[in-house]
Each structure stands twice: as structure tokens, then as C-alpha cells.
Structure 1
């Protein structure tokens, strides 16, 4: 599992925008920046849609004022992440679609939910500065406390 002081894995991400599909790699997304990556088990799922993402949407201006970029990671495809971003008015947040789960697995933070949903991200949030992890908040199974927007705002 990734830990404080580790460099984020290299990964290419695909994004769906009004103009079509585009891409960016981890160096472009995280290099030279202070970033919070918060991971959810799935787009459009109850806690993720009712609390986790909305908390970051509500506090996005406060994070931006501290010079922090926000990224939401989920093992979903880019089309699902775009639809969820639009449904949640989350345009201030970069939606990281990890369709095959390679980034999440490289972090060591994937879990297999079997027939319920297959490979998913554990619920967590991390802070990275210039691509190096400076804080990691991993939720206990079934919990939503330490990776919330409020908790992360206190860390940055």
C-alpha cells in the first residue's frame, strides 16, 4: 500500500468533455501541484453521491483558496465519471476514471467486492505535493469519517 513519502504511480487518464475525449497523465495532473485525491467505491452509489463527492463540491472554493486541486478517483469509465460530475455539479473537481483499476491497484488500495461490483477502490483520501504523498486517510470498512472534505480541509 502506498504510504507517506511515496511517489504516486504513473498513469494515463481519459476524460470526457463537451469537446469529446481527451487525456492527461499523472505528471501533468499532479506535478508541481498540491492535490487531494479522494477515492470512492463507485459513482452514483449512496454514500459517494450523498456525502463524499458533495462535501468536496461544497468546499471546493475553500480548497482552491489554499492552493489545493481536487480529484475524485473511482473504478468507473470516463463516460460514467463525466455523467456523475454533471449530475453533482462537480465541475471544480477533476474526475479520475480508473476503468481497469490499474491506478488504484498500483496504490495498493483496491478491493474485490465480488458479484456486488467487482474491483473497487477502498474509500480514502490522500494529499500529494508534486506527486509525492504527504497524507493518507484510509477509511475502515463501511465507514465515512477520515476521508471527508471537512477532515481533509483540516489537513491542508
Structure 2
């Protein structure tokens, strides 16, 4: 069953590059913070690279002005996430998180089977807003769409 508003973010360890591969658990990411986590099916894929991540890069300062941290998640390795972030000039502070085995996507109930495209299990395209580790808003895209998980839509729907 997919996570829903009011649920606590499950405890999972993710990876990122910061002077080497670093592990970070979800309590460290979410507890005592306001966070928008958005997930993409794959780094360097068309919609993800042309619209989804760039929207959060463009609006990053607007989230920060509201005291909200921003993180991007994909079922890709941490080296790919770093290279993708570098290629799109992701600002310092926008976390590029690797869910390499799909553990968080699965724990959230937001995984998808992309094996028909040679991509295996991936995260659905979504965005969530959490306060102190509790989901307050959840925006999950219908297959093949990009509307509700955009930076613009998320900003417009925060209280």
C-alpha cells in the first residue's frame, strides 16, 4: 500500500556523493526538518532532465525561503546522480540521492516496473512534502505524465 499523508517516512539508508560515497538515513534527512523529496524514474532521461529536475533547480531558492530543504531521488547509483546533478548545475544544498536498490521507492509503495524499457524496478515520478518525518502532501504522477510533481505545482500546493 502506498504511503499517504499522515504516514511517517520509513527508515531506509540512501547514498550520495560528498567527497566520496556517503550513506544517509531517512531519519537524518527528514527529522526536525521541512523537506520536499521528488523522485524521477531515471537520471539523464528526457522528462527528468529537461523538465523535472530543472524546475526544482529554478525554484530552489523559493523552497529555501520557506525553510524547506529539497532532495531529488532516483533508482540510480550515486555516481550517476552526482554526474547528472553536475550536468544540470544543481545548486549546493539540493541533495541528489541514490536509491540504488529501490529500497525507499519500495518502502514508500511508489516503485514501478520499468523492465519493459530495460530499466528494472524504478521509482514512480512523485513529489512529497514532509514535516519532521511525516508526509503532509503527496503528489504521484499517472503513468507517462508530468504535472503534479513539478516544482511549480508543489509550491502552489503548500500551506
* TM, length-normalised to structure 1: 0.96
Q: How many Å apart are 1:118 and its aligned residue?
A: 0.9
Pick aligned residue for 1:119 from 111, 118, 121: 121
Does 1:15 find its partner at 2:13? no
**C-alpha offsets along residues 109-152 of structure 1, whole Å, 9 cap, x if unaligned?**
00111141111111110101001000001111111001000001
Moved more, 64-73 or 90-99: 90-99
TM-score (norm 2): 0.94
Equivalent residue in structure 2 for 1:152, among 127, 138, 154? 154
Separation of aligned partners in 2, 1:97 and 1:15: 6
Distance in 2 (CA, whole Å) between partners of 1:114 and 1:85 is 25
The structural deviation recorded for 1:155 is 2.0
How many equivalent residue pairs? 155
Give the 5 Å matches for 1:42-81: 42-81=42-81
Gaps of 5+ in 2: none
In 2: Cα distance, 1:39 partner to 1:144 partner: 12
Match of 2:101 in 1: 100
Match of 2:31 in 1: 31
